[in-house]
């Protein structure tokens, strides 16, 4: 979708205007009411339109206007209309017009009293529209013309300075689109090697420094846990690390992001049920979020030093596959008894986390993983689960989630050696990769905590319930959401650039 920010509203097939609570029309909407001879006001009365946040009223062929469609969107209380509200309104207009108009104009002229400057409101409106307008139709060859998206251009008028406000958001949009594409493509298209190729193509032009570990290098380093997961697949594993330093200080302490990238998860020898297994193409959603976030941060030239690591494997039940009961030695030297080969994500992450901490010496590490079904049982599909060893870090991530819309809910985490931690003690190794049935997302986090270096503030984000949605949301169609990219961007802006 082409986005523009003209000073005055151009003629378009669709004109989008706004009203606050108690049906208070913006100056542009009031002018449209006069131009239509009061048609807009009569329609508002007939539809009991009050300007409630997110309410939508549509007039077809409005008298006195060149537009074929007139949309009136409710702001609710203008003072509470923040970035999140305008992103959702942008998503709503895109959803409504996607199959109906090839271009639209949203007129914010005269809008005031908002919860943010009008230029930022316009920028977030455009971002929401762009995010909601994203579709992945690459593999649909029989779409009829009326089924193909039409909305190709959005002009957001009457908001001086909006172009500059949108510039960094455009880079975030591109990062979200990369994440969604990686998550959406099937496993015969995106596997460890092709994931790396696609990410390198996006990252290299932006100045990201890229490091790639192949199977031989991981074996040399002693990545016993990650390679144990990968050994049943014909697809060789990869680790890709991306580094961005916009601080101007080569010695700046980095933020470390680590993503689980299981490009397809059968469960291995502990094989999953057939029903729904096709969804396991998105078990690399954590790695995809890290890759998209790094592209967004480099694209907008964030004044921070950030390293993103994606650990990529395929988990298959070949004759060479890892068996329940096997013991592996991790890169850290700690040993793990593999009780369940379908608890593979934590094994993959353990080696990548330890290696990246030793190499880059971060002060903060965040890992992103579609780790457990238990987190979906706990939180559903509206929040990701957050486990953190530092209260300040947890608070900052929660705040970033509220601003970005990638919402988090903090879950309990015991200290090393606590009762929760001892649930993963093994009789023959240092630990086992699963605990008892109850508290499955908690014991998974306890496992990962054993691979956090002393002094590193760490948060584990279990995003299993939010990377893929069966229903469309305010700023995403059904399918891949791009969860994590906007969260990371806001967290970096608030904590590393401030």
Largest CA distance in the chain: 82
CATH of residue 137's domain is 3.40.220.10
Q: In terms of domains, do 283 and 366 share one?
A: yes
The strands making up 255-265's β-sheet, listed across from edge to edge, are 209-213, 238-245, 305-315, 255-265, 364-369, 457-462, 384-388, 408-410
Q: Is 480 a domain residue?
A: yes
In a domain, 165, yes or no: no
Mean pLDDT of 357-366: 98
pLDDT at 498 > cutoff 80: no
- Domain boundary, last residue among 160, 186, 220: 160
Same domain, 277 and 151: no
Say whether both 116 and 179 belong to one domain. no
Provide the 3-class DSSP secondary structure of residue 449: helix
CA distance 148 to 171: 26
Residues 209 and 316 grouped into a single domain? yes
Of residues 98, 73, 96, 99, the one with CA closest to residue 86: 73
Residues 81 and 197 placed together within one structural domain of the fold: no
**pLDDT score of 116 more than 80:** yes
139 CB-near residues (< 8 Å, 6+ apart): none
Residues 241 and 359 in one domain: yes
Name the residue among 492, 493, 449, 480 with its Cα closest to residue 288: 480
Report the alpha-carbon distance of residue 110 to residue 27 in Å, rounded. Answer: 5
Q: 233 lies in a domain?
A: yes
Residue-wise pLDDT for 140-175, tens only, equals 999 998 888 999 999 999 999 999 999 999 999 999
Question: How sure is the predictor about 110, in pLDDT bands with cuts at 50, 70 and 90?
Answer: very high
420-459 pLDDT, tens digit each: 999 999 999 999 999 999 999 999 999 999 999 999 999 9
Domain boundary among 112, 134, 160: 160
Q: Which residues constitute the domain of residue 132?
A: 2-160
State the residue for tokens 């192949």: 214
Which of 95, 83, 119, 86 lies closest to 1, judged by CA? Answer: 95
Report the pLDDT value the prediction gives residue 416, as an integer from 0 to 100.
Answer: 87
Q: Could you give the CA distance from residue 268 to residue 60 in angstroms, rounded to a whole number?
A: 56
pLDDT at 374 exceeding the cut of 90: yes
Same-domain check for residues 453 and 410: yes
Q: What angle, rounded to 10 degrees, do the helices at 192-203 and 285-299 form?
A: 10
Q: Are 92 and 69 in contact (CB under 8 A)?
A: no
Share of the chain above pLDDT 70, in %: 100
Give residue 58's pLDDT.
97
Mean pLDDT of 373-396: 97
| 3-class DSSP assignment, residue 181 | helix
My answer on whether 393 and 351 are in the same domain is: yes
Q: What pLDDT score was predicted for residue 117?
A: 96
Residue-level pLDDT at 49: 96
CA distance 44 to 50: 8
Residues 6+ apart with CB under 8 A from 267: 315, 317, 341, 342
- The answer on 243 and 127 residing in a single domain is no
Mean pLDDT (the chain) is 97
* Residues 139, 211 within the same domain: no
Q: Is the pLDDT of residue 470 over 90?
A: yes
pLDDT recorded at residue 462: 98
In a domain, 430, yes or no: yes
> Which token pair is 267?
């469960």
pLDDT (tens digit, 9 = 90+) per residue, 229-273? Answer: 999 999 999 999 999 999 999 999 999 999 999 999 999 999 999
Token code pair at residue 254: 């980095």
pLDDT given for residue 288 in this prediction: 98
∠ CA 465-208-348, rounded to 5°: 40
Classified as helix, coil or strand, 14 is strand
- In angstroms, the CA 182 to CA 203 distance is 14
Confidence tier at 281 by pLDDT (50, 70, 90): very high
Q: Do 147 and 201 lie in a common domain? A: no
Claim to verify: residue 482 and residue 377 sit in the same structural domain: yes
Q: Beta strands 2-4 and 153-157: pairing type?
A: parallel
What's the total number of domains in the chain? 2
Residue 447, domain member (yes or no): yes
CATH classification of the domain holding 353: 3.40.630.10
Mean pLDDT score, 342-357: 98
* Domain closes at, from 160, 185, 214: 160
* Residues classed as catalytic: 272, 346
H helices within 144-247, ranges in order?
A: 162-184, 192-203, 215-221, 224-230
463 contacts 273 by C-beta, under 8 angstroms: no
């Amino acid at each position: 979708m082409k986005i523009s920010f003209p000073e005055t509203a151009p003629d378009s097939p669709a004109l989008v205007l706004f009203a606050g609570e108690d049906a208070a029309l913006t100056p542009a909407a009031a002018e449209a009411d006069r131009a239509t001879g009061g048609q807009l006001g009569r329609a508002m009365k007939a539809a009991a339109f009050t300007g409630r946040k997110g309410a939508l009223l549509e007039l077809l062929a409005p008298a006195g206007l060149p537009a074929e469609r007139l949309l009136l969107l409710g702001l609710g209380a203008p003072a509470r209309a923040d970035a999140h509200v305008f992103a959702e309104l942008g998503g709503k207009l895109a959803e409504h017009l996607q199959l109906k108009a090839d271009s639209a104009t949203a007129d914010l002229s005269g809008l005031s009293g908002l919860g943010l400057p009008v230029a930022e409101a316009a920028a977030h409106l455009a971002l929401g529209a762009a995010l909601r307008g994203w579709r992945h139709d690459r593999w649909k060859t029989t779409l009829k013309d009326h089924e193909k998206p039409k909305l190709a251009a959005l002009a957001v008028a009457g908001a001086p300075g909006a172009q500059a406000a949108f510039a960094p958001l455009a880079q975030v949009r591109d990062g979200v689109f990369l994440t969604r594409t990686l998550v959406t493509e099937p496993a015969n298209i995106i596997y460890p090697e092709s994931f790396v190729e696609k990410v390198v193509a996006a990252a290299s032009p932006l100045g990201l420094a890229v490091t790639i570990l192949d199977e031989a290098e991981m074996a040399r380093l002693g990545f016993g846990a990650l390679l144990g997961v990968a050994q049943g697949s014909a697809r060789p594993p990869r680790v890709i690390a991306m580094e961005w330093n916009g601080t101007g200080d080569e010695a700046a302490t980095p933020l470390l992001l680590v993503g689980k990238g299981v490009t397809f998860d059968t469960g291995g020898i502990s094989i999953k049920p057939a029903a729904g297994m096709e969804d396991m193409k998105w078990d690399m959603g954590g790695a995809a979020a890290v890759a998209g976030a790094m592209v967004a941060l480099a694209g907008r030239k964030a004044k921070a030093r950030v390293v993103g690591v994606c650990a990529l494997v395929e988990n298959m039940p070949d004759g060479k596959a890892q068996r329940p009961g096997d013991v592996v030695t991790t890169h850290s030297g700690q040993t793990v008894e593999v009780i369940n080969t379908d608890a593979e994500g934590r094994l993959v992450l353990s080696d990548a986390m330890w290696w990246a901490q030793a190499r880059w010496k971060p002060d903060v590490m965040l890992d992103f993983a579609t780790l457990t079904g238990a987190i979906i049982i706990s939180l559903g599909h509206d929040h990701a689960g957050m486990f953190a060893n530092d209260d300040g870090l947890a608070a900052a991530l929660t705040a970033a989630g509220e601003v970005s819309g990638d919402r988090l809910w903090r879950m309990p985490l015991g200290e090393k050696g606590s009762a929760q931690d001892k649930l993963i003690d093994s009789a023959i190794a240092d630990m086992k990769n699963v605990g008892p049935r109850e508290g499955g997302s908690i014991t998974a986090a306890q496992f990962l905590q054993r691979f956090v270096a002393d002094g590193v503030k760490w948060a584990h984000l279990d995003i299993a319930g939010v990377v893929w949605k069966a229903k469309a949301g305010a700023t995403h169609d059904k399918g891949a959401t791009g969860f994590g990219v906007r969260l990371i961007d806001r967290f970096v802006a608030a904590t590393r650039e401030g």
